[in-house]
Amino acid sequence: MAMTNNKTQCFTCNKDKITYSCDGCLQRFCLIHLPEHQQRLNEELNHIIDDYNEFEERLINERKQNPHNLSLIDQIDQWEINSIDKIKQKAKECREIVIKSSQTFLNNIEKQFNDLSEQIKQIREENEFNEINLKYLTNQLMKINQELNNPSKISIQQGSQVFINEISIISSKKPKFNKWKQNAITVAGGNGEGRGLNQLNSSYGIFIDEKKNIFIADCYNHRIVEWKYIAKEGQIIAGRNGEGNLMDQLNFPTDVIVDQQNHSIIVADQGNRRVIRWLNQNQQILIDNIDCFGLAIDKYGSLYVSDWKKNAVRRWKMGEYNNEGIVVAGGNIKGNQLNQLNHPTFIFVDEDQSVYVSDQNNNRVVKWRKDAKEGTVVVEGNDDGSDLDQLFYPQGVIVDDLGQIYVADSMNDRVMRWCEGKEEGEIVVGGNGEGNQPNQLNYPTGLSFDDEGNLYVTDSRNHRIQKFVTVF
């Protein structure tokens, strides 16, 4: 409360007195009515505290009882019981068929054997037999013996129809679709093309760690640069000795990822046709003789590499890099069929080990589920163009927790978002023509999110990394 020496009208009694101003309601009260006003405020505060206490008690009870969720849990439990009962019944029926089939087979063999034994007994009793009889008996025994060794084959055939009804959880709350401020903040580079520590030169892939440090494949400078959070310049962490093929050199690196398990960095050293690891300034070639471009690591630590020349994506288990890897996408010469790729660039691997591939020359993004023989086009390749159902040389690709696909549409100078199954995408940032303004891009390549949902874009030909801040 602020005091004044001038007499003014009291808000309560409407008399001219020495009054005190309340900063909250901006009214003035005399010395008599000021305590009343304070008392009223105290009462309101007590009511609010009571409401808070009531809500806290309700929250505690909800955690203890949670009847709504228990009802849903009961439904899930019942579905589980019904499904298990159905499976058990089917398994019981199949077991009975197998047992009955085996019994019938053995009964038939036993009958043939008994008949043959009876014939032998009869021949011996009559004592009338010759070579023909003996040959016949031998052949019959061989026949049933062969039949016993080679029973009629039975097998299990799994139907393509759904055996049990699937269930899923549907929330009444709609998923949150992120939006970003359209004017970006330059967080790395932005000082023109060059080799200075505050400059970049046609960078490609980026990686954001949990501390918001940015790792950049500074392609035309043949180096990997790390920009600490809110730093004014970067520091070279790989390739500090210029272009070359020595262990401490790089040649047009296109992508970089950080292995969170050992904090090493892995680089697609495209010009040297190798994937190389840097750990505490020690270098190790993981994969050699590969026309690498994009990199990814799944939750199990397996490494994925796109080979743009062989039009394939391969996977290597952690520590097992002394082989050719396993083809997980493409690998069937270049083309536009569902089992083909044409110049794959960046890749992304989700929690289910599905691989998303930017299929550059087909102007599409293809999703390959684990162990699939062909992919599914999740971002249509309707020739190159700038319509909402088109891409033109897609580069970076990432997928958020809702399964929405983000693509750096490089030649259209924009980043697109596509929901799987939709025929059109939407522009999330850029799309305002080629340029270097905060709301423009020029050949975007790498994409990444930080843990707050901010979107980072490698603005390649503007030689900068742009951060688009999430709008809540």
Answer yes or no: are the C-beta atoms of 185 and 450 closer than 8 Å: no
Q: Which of 256, 296, 293 is nearest to 278 (CA)?
A: 256
Buried b (16+ CB within 10 A) or exposed e, 397-417: bbbbeeebbbbbbbbbbbbbb
116 half-sphere exposure, CB direction, 13 A CA radius: 19
Whether 407 contacts 365, CB under 8 Å: yes
pLDDT value, residue 67? 54
pLDDT on residue 4: 44
* CB hemisphere CA count around 49 (13 angstroms): 6
pLDDT of residue 353: 94
Phi then psi dihedrals of residue 250, to 5 deg: -130, 165
Pairwise CA distance, residues 159 & 163, whole Å = 8
User: Tell me, what's the pLDDT at 3?
Assistant: 45
The two three-digit tokens of residue 443, written as one number: 């050949």
Residue pair 345/362 in contact (Cβ under 8 Å)? The answer is no
Please name the amino acid found at residue 326: I
Q: Identify which of 298, 391, 398, 386 has the alpha carbon closest to the alpha carbon of residue 346.
A: 398
Question: Residues in the chain, how many?
Answer: 472
User: Can you list the residues of the chain whose pLDDT is less than 70?
Assistant: 1-6, 62-70, 152-153, 158-163, 168-177, 381, 472
Residue 26 CA to residue 120 CA, distance in Å, equals 121
Q: Side chain identity at 62, as an amino acid letter?
A: E
Burial class (CB in 10 A: 0-12, 13-18, 19+), 69: exposed
For 317, residues 6+ apart whose C-beta sits below 8 A from its C-beta are 300, 301, 302
Q: Which domains does the chain have, with CATH numbers?
A: 1-68 (no CATH), 73-150 (no CATH), 179-471 (2.120.10.30)
pLDDT at 90: 82
The C-alpha atoms of residue 252 and residue 203 are separated, in whole angstroms, by 9
Quick one: which of 324, 343, 323 has its CA closest to 333? 343
Query: Taking a C-beta distance cutoff of 8 angstroms, is the pair 94, 156 a contact?
Result: yes
